[in-house]
Each structure stands twice: as structure tokens, then as C-alpha cells.
Amino acid sequence: MTPAAGRSLTVDTIMEGAHVTRFPDRTRRFRPVLAAFVAAVVLTAGCTLPAFAPRAESEGEAAPPGTAPQWRACPEVPDELVGRGAADMRYDCARIAVPRNWGSGATTGATAGPGAGETFEIALIRARSTKQRDRIGSLVINPGGPGASGVDTAVYLSFGPAFGGLPTAITDRFDIVGFDPRGVARSSPVKCISDADLDASFGYDPDPESQSSFDGFVGLNRRIGERCGAKYGDQLPLYGTEQAARDMDAVRAAVGDDKLTYLGYSYGTLLGATYAQLYPQRVRALVLDGAVDPQQKLIAGSESQAKGFERAFDNFTRWCAANAGRCPIAPDARGAVTDAIAKAKASPVRAQDGRKATAGWVFYAVISSLYTEQGWQELARAIDDLQGGDPDGVFKLADAYAGREPGGHYSNLFDANLAVNCADETEKPTREQVRSLQSQWRQKYPLFGPALAVGMLGCVEWPGERDPYPTGRANGAPPILVVGTTGDPATPYEQTPALASMLGVGRVLTWEGEGHTAYPQTSCVTSAVDAYLISLTVPREGLRCPAR
């Protein structure tokens, strides 16, 4: 498993995933949950939404391809997720069927090849304000991952600005529509990785230096790949991004919009960019927040994340040194974290339930905390507690990132993450290349480089053909808003102008803040994005929003 989020083998960990726990009193601690979510909306090698209840398949028949869906009231979805629905919001659900293999883009799907003539079911939710006026249409949401649930995300964002959700200016004018992409959560989920293998993967040494330890990680990834290949065979490439982007056009048609209005976070920016290339004339407005550079191959993308996380961690250590009263591991936070990982390799602390806080779990606690600036103090406390023999804070952070439930069960987040990322990826380094990069990146990015290098083994050992997405201009599309955060660890800021340039119609909006994704965190960012979504007013060239 790889750390973090973006397009290499990481997961946009929705900081719901990164730092929200399952707690019994859902309403009292509701605001920090949603605020944390919006601050990090996004799971690729670690981005998961909080799951307070199982994501059961929605009831109802899936509408056949090309037909209107049958919407039904579904208040049970927000009830299961957070204990209640938002005030003045109505929730409706539907399911649509899409071709498993869109082939050359024919509306009925391919007539030959893997999945020909078969369908996937795509789950949708629509949150509509009872105070809606002058309705523009639907705002379709994707939170990233790949592997995160858009159904869950739409629910969280429907609660409005008081809870860190979308502004009322948006919910007053748009239906908020979330969908689980093919293979994710409620949409014909792909599931082939056992809980035991996920525990082993997250708990494994993030920098296996000895050859035997490295070979052990190779073996674990090979076993995962073999089991997924045995279950899904030649249909594994059908979970790729281009197929999912074609599903998005079916979603657009299902909600009755002539053109798509879309908000995509992290990996969701790749999905949106692919849609814009396939259907430029059907774009109304796209907001791509936490931009992924589609032109980066696996190695370049993994190194970019290593650099991004190293930079974010440096920002954390500087904050720690300047705020010793709130950072119990000051003044040398890097030394404290590095020492904690080293000690966990030699003698991991055992929790009351018998779990050992190995180096891998400590590492993922660090990854988890960097998705939002609010996570920094929690990391400092967790490392300080670990030094005192209490690993609970480490497991709280790491489990949230991994989507691990208290009983040890995982959602299909990482199954889908691997299936999508590896279907997309044409570059397949050898094990020897990975081993060499592990050593090289240890020198350049000492804390995160080795883990991002060995994380590539997931796709190295993955079976099946590849189905790469397009990487070109969105000729004929209107201006597309591409949002980047200067301190983003998972989708480093450098990818923002790269994506805008590739599309040819991208307009960059910069937030000089910390964490993963920007909207709607400050008045400057919110005003610019709202004006674009509502009136199609494009921000001025070079607009930079301050951190506060």
C-alpha cells in the first residue's frame, strides 16, 4: 500500500479518513467532523470517509442505460452516516446501469471484449434544499481516492457552512449530487483484499532495508495481485478512469442537465479532466481542487508525493518549534517522529487489545495528520503518548486514514484504489528499479521517500491489461477552474499549473495554505469558486488567496 493521495498508488485520504473517529455522540462533535472532511477531501493512498454504519447497497432497480432513473426518498443514508439529515434538506437516491465496457464510446457499450453486454450499477444521491430558488441544475461531486464515496461526500457537504459544508449560495441554487464510481462502495464494489492482508500492508516496515524484508513486501503485494486477478480476471482494466469518466456522462444525463457542473477533489480532478477531454461540449463548469497532473507516470508521481509530504512535514516541524506550548514533542519534532518509527521497528508498543504499533502504523499516523493543519497538534500528542507507552493516538490517526473499523474490518477503499490506479498506469517499473529508487529517495526525502518508492510494488505486482486515460487539451470546453494549495502534501502545488496548462482552458486559483484541497476554507477561495459555479465568472489570472 502506498501513502497518500493523488494519482500514484496512494489514496486521497479524505480527512474524514485521516482524522475522524467513530464516536457515539455524532451530533455534538459534528462540526469538527465535517470541517476536517472539507479541509482534506481527499483519499489516493489513504483518503477515506468516516463510516459510522455499513454502506449497504441502495434499494431499488437500476435504470437501464439511457433511461431516466427512479428517485426515491432515502433519509436513512444521512441517518446511517452521521445520525441525522441536514436541516431543510431532502435526500433522494437512485441507481443507474452503465455498460461495463464503453468500448469506443458507443452509448450501449462495447459488443466485444471483456465485460461486453454486461453492466455495472452506479449509486446516486441527490441532496436538495427546501429553500432552493432560481435553480441552476446539479452540482456533481467526486471526493477523490480513487475509492472514496461520492454518496457519503454529498451528504457531508449538504450540511452547510456552519459545519464545514458547502455555502448556502451553492445549495440554494444547485442540487448536490454524489455518486460512487464503478467499483466503489455501493456501485458494484470491487473487493478482493482480505482484512489480514490490509493489516499486514499498513503495519509493514515503511522502509524495508534488508533484502529479506523487501522481498517479504514484494511477496505480500504479489499475493494481493494474484487474488484480485483470480477473482476479476480480464475485467480488471474496466475499473480505469476513462471508463468512470464515461459513467459521469451517464450521471449528467440521469440528473437531467444538458451540461455538467462538477466539483472534483484530488483524484476527482483527474476524473474531471478526463471528462473534459472526452466531452468538452458538455461542460458547463468544472472545479478541480487538489490538482493531479495526468501527464505524470508512476515514478514521477510517486516522487512528487514524496517531495510534497516532506515539505508538509517540514512545515509541521516549524509550527511545532514556534508553538511549544501546543506541541509536546518540540523543539525537535522531526527527531521525535523519526525516533518513534525507529523504536517501533525494534520494539513496537502493544495496545490493550493486543495490536502492536509497528513502524508502519506510526508512519501512517504521520501521513494521516498532514492532510489538514488541524491534524498537526493531534500528531504531536500521539507521538508524545507513544513515547510514554500509549499507542492509542497513533492507532486513531492511522486507522482513520486506512478506513479500519474497530473490529478490524476494512471497506473496499483500497481494493478500488489499486484496481483504478493500476488499470490507469502504463509504466511498470521492475522490482530492481523500485529497490534502487528506495535507496535514492531515502537520501532526498528521508521520511517519505522510501515508502513512496516501495509503494509502487502494488502496481508492479498487479495483473491484467492497462487502460490509460487521455492526456491532452480539452478543445472546445469553456474555462475550467483548477485550484491548488501551496502546502498540499498529497497533490503538490506544482501539479496545479501543469493540469491547467495541459487542458489549455485551465485557470489557476492558488491558496497559500496548508493541507489537502482548498474549497471552501476561506472567504477568498469560497467567493471565487462560488462566483464561477453560479455565474461562470472566471477568477482573474494569477489570483492567490492568503492562508487566513
Catalytic residues: 266, 488, 516
The conformation of residue 62, written as its DSSP 8-state character, comes to: P
**Integer Cα distance of 221 and 224 in angstroms:** 5
Torsion of CA 183, 263, 493, 378, to 10 degrees: -70
Number of helices (H), then strands (E), in the chain: 20, 14
Angstrom distance (rounded) from CA 503 to CA 492: 18
284 Rama class: left (phi>0) / alpha (psi -120 to 50) / beta: alpha
Q: Is the dihedral of CA 403, 407, 411, 415 positive or negative?
A: positive
State how far Cα 474 lies from the chain centre.
Answer: 24
Compute the C-alpha angle 474/476/479, nearest 5°.
70
30: enclosing H helix or E strand: helix 30-40
Calpha distance 367→336 (Å, rounded): 15
How many Å apart are CA 130 and CA 118, to the nearest integer? 38
Query: Coil, strand, or helix at residue 229?
Result: helix
Paired strand residues for 286: 262
In the block, cell 517501533 appears at 344
Please provide the DSSP assignment of 292-357 as one string: --TT--HHHHHHHHHHHHHHHHHHHHHHHHH-TTT-TT-S-HHHHHHHHHHHHHHSPEEPTTS-EE
CA-based torsion, 182, 186, 190, 196: positive or negative: positive
Contact present, 148 and 47 (Cβ < 8 Å):
yes
Query: Going by C-beta distance under 8 Å and a sequence separation of 6 or more, which residues neighbour residue 124?
Result: 69, 93, 94, 95, 96, 151, 177, 178, 179, 251, 254, 255
Q: What is the 3-state secondary structure (H, E, C) of 397-444?
A: HHHHHHCECCCCCECCHHHHHHHHHHHHCCCCCCHHHHHHHHHHHHHH
